[in-house]
Structure formats: structure tokens, C-alpha cells
Amino acid sequence: MTPLHHGSQSRVEVLQRLPRVEAKALLLQISSIERKTFPTNEALQFDPSLLSKANTTILLVRNHGSTSNDVVGYALFVRFQKTILLHKICVAAAFRGRNYGRHLLEDIISRSKHASCRKIELWVDESRSVARALYTRHHFIELESVENYYAPGRTGIKMCLDLV
């Protein structure tokens, strides 16, 4: 577990390293946040089969300060050779603006470098200015845009962070 900041009770955890029963329960929480946050056509299916995919990692942050220990944010990425394909970073609406997304992204960057990956790639909706700003602050560059990538009228931006 990686502490979010000095003295913090919250940590970035790898879901696959948790006991199976606990991981499945946390997947249900992640699925709930996913459905509340993203349109149906963009929502990923967080089913238990993800727990056994060797090249897929799910990170999460829980609200350890509460009695419920709920998931407040998560990320999903896939390693393909020396490239990380970042599919999702999401923070529950009630917890946004508290740097959880930044900590998840920094953890992914750190893990990627440690695994000798060369780059991190992602797609982001052009209208998600907060997400784009987060990636830009971490030196991702915009490579291309595709109109109607997510849905009619919604442009996708491909971004990349060179780790070499």
C-alpha cells in the first residue's frame, strides 16, 4: 500500500492483492461508482473475472477514516508489453477535489516506471477538463483527437506520457 500523503489513513491498494471475498465486495462498490459516474456506453463491467487477468491491475483508495471503509476512487490499467493502457481513473463525486485522482495517477506512473514501461496511453473525453488538466500537469501530451469517439458530438483525445 502506498500512503496518499504523510499521516494519511488512506492508501492506494491493489485490489487483486486483497483477500478474494473482500476484493469481490469492493468490486461491487466500484461498479456502483462507475454506473453513477459514466454514461452506460462508457461504463466498464467490473466483474470478478478481472481479478484473475494477469496483465490487468485495479487500484483503489478507501475512506479508512469512516466506519464504512468505502471505496472513494479507483483506477484500472492494462500492461501490454512496455506500454500501460490506462482505461479508467474515477473518484466518487463526494470525494472529488481532495487529490485522490492525483494520487492514483502518481501511483500508476510510479508502478509503470518500476516495471520498466516506456509509456502510458489513455483516451479522455475532450469535455472532461478536470481530467485533461490532471494529465497535462503530469506531462501527458495530446497526440490526436477523434470526433464522435465516445458518442455523437463527444470528441476523444488520445494522450501519452513518455516514461523513457
pLDDT at position 41 is: 85
Q: What is the pTM of this model?
A: 0.90
In a domain? residue 133: no
pLDDT in tens, 4-21: 544 445 689 999 999 999
- Residue 47's domain comprises 2-117
CA pair distance 119, 161, nearest whole angstrom: 5
Is residue 6 included in any domain, yes or no? yes
Residue 138 in any domain: the answer is no
Coil, helix or strand for 99? coil
Considering the domain boundaries, does residue 154 fall inside one? no
Residue 139 within a domain: no
Q: Is residue 147 part of a domain?
A: no
**Per-residue confidence (pLDDT) for residue 63, from 0 to 100:** 86
Of 78, 62, 65, which is closest to residue 22 (Cα–Cα)? Answer: 62
CATH number where 67 lies: 3.40.630.30
Determine the Cα–Cα distance for residues 123 and 138; give it in Å rounded to an integer: 15
- Of 30, 22, 105, the residue nearest 71 (C-alpha): 30
- Count of structural domains within the chain: 1
Q: Cα 3 to the chain's mean position, in Å?
A: 16
The proportion of the chain whose per-residue pLDDT surpasses 90, expressed as a percent, equals 84
146 domain-assigned: no
pLDDT category, 31, cuts 50, 70, 90?
very high
Average pLDDT rounded to a whole number, residues 133-145 = 98
pLDDT band at residue 69 using 50, 70 and 90 as cut-offs: confident
Q: Is the pLDDT of residue 65 over 90?
A: no
- pLDDT of 5: 46
> In whole angstroms, how far apart are CA 91 and each of 45, 49, 99, 152, 164?
17, 22, 9, 25, 28
- Would residue 69 count as lying in a domain? yes
